[in-house]
Structure 1
């Protein structure tokens, strides 16, 4: 058995991406952020849809059209394929644990 809140690295100088399950049409990933944002060089532009849930902490997603969504624990959002977005803020004071489900 595994727990989404266990095995959080003490050193979070880098954002942590962990694939929990991967299948042909589906990938489930745990992401742990602490003050991290997307790389400055561009937007995420994914071939698959992404459903994202904040389990703990808080983060902010900015979309190419200017929309900004701030998510706190329990908030979730579906991002259609090729909807350009980036993580513009995560809480620097605590770990933000995301559950991301990528699907086709």
Structure 2
């Protein structure tokens, strides 16, 4: 069981790592480790649940549909994404792992 957010950060460059840290009815907390990944072209996430996300290490660009520019997230930056708000990951740092903490919830 994962008990430190900064262990096991070495993942293959072609894959992101997703670790469920806590799952309860209507709530899921997940650690994501990205190493240069982004959403496929023309792909948008459209989730049934809300998401609160924070970058703990590294950096990423996140775009919300309808917004003119992307959100650039650095350590400590967080964002709430309402359910069914289409969004995509434009980029993640390829120089160091980007560690995200994502909290998914039913509104």
TM range (shorter): over 0.9
TM normalised by structure 2 equals 0.90
Higher strand share: 1
| Corresponding position of 2:85 | 83
Q: Give the number of aligned pairs.
A: 104
Distance 1:78 1:13 in 2: 27
TM normalised by structure 1 equals 0.93
Alignment of 1:1-104 (within 5 A): 2-66=3-67, 67-104=69-106
- Stretches of 4+ aligned residues off by more than 2 angstroms: 9-13
Structure 1 residue 13: deviation in Å?
2.3
Gap regions ≥5 residues in structure 2 = none
- What is the Cα-based RMSD across aligned positions, in Å? 1.4
